[in-house]
A = this chain, B = another copy of it.
Amino acid sequence: MNRLTETARGVYVIAVTPFLPDGGLDLESTDRMVDFYLSVGATGLTVLGMMGEAQKLTIGESQLIVRRILARVAGRVPVVVGVSAPGFAQMASLTEMVMDDGAAGVMIAPPSSLRTDDQIVAYYAQAVGFIKDVPFVVQDFPLVTGVQMSVPVIRRIVADLPTCVCLKHEDWPGLDKISALRADGFLNRRISILCGNGGMFLPEEMARGADGAMTGFAYPEMMVDVVRHTDAGEAERAQDLFDAYLPLARYEQQPGIGLAVRKYTMAKRGIIAHASLRRPGPGLNERTIAEVDRLIRRQERRLRELT
């Protein structure tokens, strides 16, 4: 039960991994973060994603953090775990571990060596050979992976692999991709489409047929609001709120320091205790902090105008 299905909707927040200033895991903050995400309306969580500093964890730490999150969530929402790995043996062993612990499904990004359509389709088929009947999310994030999945490729994956239940859509440009995938009869069955890119295109994505977001932002309530108002037919209201958060969302999307900005904001909000990234990771200088603080102040003011 609580397995991820093609009906996944709403906001699956990509969870950060809280660290102590000395680089150790901050498990208390992890609990508080989970509580916060659920309190603002997250309908799911995704852990060990690219923005979760997964690659900086040992296998043991990965399991520890996943278990802690699963325990705290306690089945209230599905939890997806990123299991992308250089090889299938590692992917399979991590998948088995987290599914045994209660995860709802896994997420798999294609390795950057893939180029041709056939290579991409074959890769996911091979992956399924290893993870068996575990439901999975295809992560389509060409800016980082370098792998471009055309809509015919996604169609083949969906047709061939029944356990593919969701697309984490993070292509750029991607709006027409959503429309193509949602065109009548293009896919042989409907899958969930949850969008990334920090929510930077969420109003348009929802209008095109996305089911929600699977991404991170220090104010996940923005994404929850956009989804809720869109579902209620209040597109202008959705966009008004979106616009209020956009200056900060834009700032948080800067490659290299975006995650540090997000953690700083989350710490400032009291969601986690420390803004620390595990080494190697950038700290924020005073200048950057002042810019973030200013954007938060302006955002709060604008949100008050909109209430």
Cα A127 to Cα B142 in complex, Å, equals 26
A171–chain B nearest beta-carbon distance, Å: 9
Decide yes or no whether A7 CB sits under 8 A from chain B: no
**A115 near B118: Cβ-Cβ < 8 Å:** no
Given A148-B116, A250-B246, A280-B126, A173–B90 Cβ distance below 8 Å? no
Decide yes or no whether A93 CB sits under 8 A from chain B: yes
Cα A246 to Cα B302 in complex, Å, equals 14
Decide yes or no whether A279 CB sits under 8 A from chain B: yes
Residues on the B chain within 8 Å of A142, using CB: 115
Stretch at the interface among A184-192, A215-223, A254-262: A254-262
Cα A59 to Cα B257 in complex, Å, equals 31
Q: How many residues of chain A are within 8 Å of chain B by beta carbon?
A: 62
Most buried by B among A116, A119, A147, A148: A116
Cα A152 to Cα B115 in complex, Å, equals 13
Q: How often does this chain occur in the complex, in copies?
A: 4
**B204 near A89: Cβ-Cβ < 8 Å:** no
Most buried by B among A207, A208, A287: A287
A210–chain B nearest beta-carbon distance, Å: 14
Residues on the B chain within 8 Å of A179, using CB: 287
Cα A164 to Cα B30 in complex, Å, equals 38
Interface string of A271-304 (1 = CB under 8 A from B): 0000000111000010110010000001000100
Cα A161 to Cα B227 in complex, Å, equals 47
**A152 near B118: Cβ-Cβ < 8 Å:** yes
**A118 near B150: Cβ-Cβ < 8 Å:** yes
Residues on the B chain within 8 Å of A115, using CB: 115, 142, 147-148
A146–chain B nearest beta-carbon distance, Å: 8
**B153 near A288: Cβ-Cβ < 8 Å:** no
Q: Which of B90, B126, B204 contacts A291 (CB 8 A)?
A: B204
Residues on the B chain within 8 Å of A51, using CB: none
Decide yes or no whether A267 CB sits under 8 A from chain B: no
**B88 near A56: Cβ-Cβ < 8 Å:** yes
Decide yes or no whether A231 CB sits under 8 A from chain B: no
**B279 near A88: Cβ-Cβ < 8 Å:** yes
**B175 near A288: Cβ-Cβ < 8 Å:** yes
Decide yes or no whether A2 CB sits under 8 A from chain B: no
Residues on the B chain within 8 Å of A278, using CB: 89
19 contacts across the A-B interface (CB closer than 8 A)? A53-B87, A55-B86, A57-B90, A58-B89, A59-B59, A59-B90, A89-B278, A115-B142, A116-B153, A117-B118, A123-B280, A173-B254, A176-B288, A179-B287, A201-B250, A204-B291, A236-B298, A243-B298, A246-B246
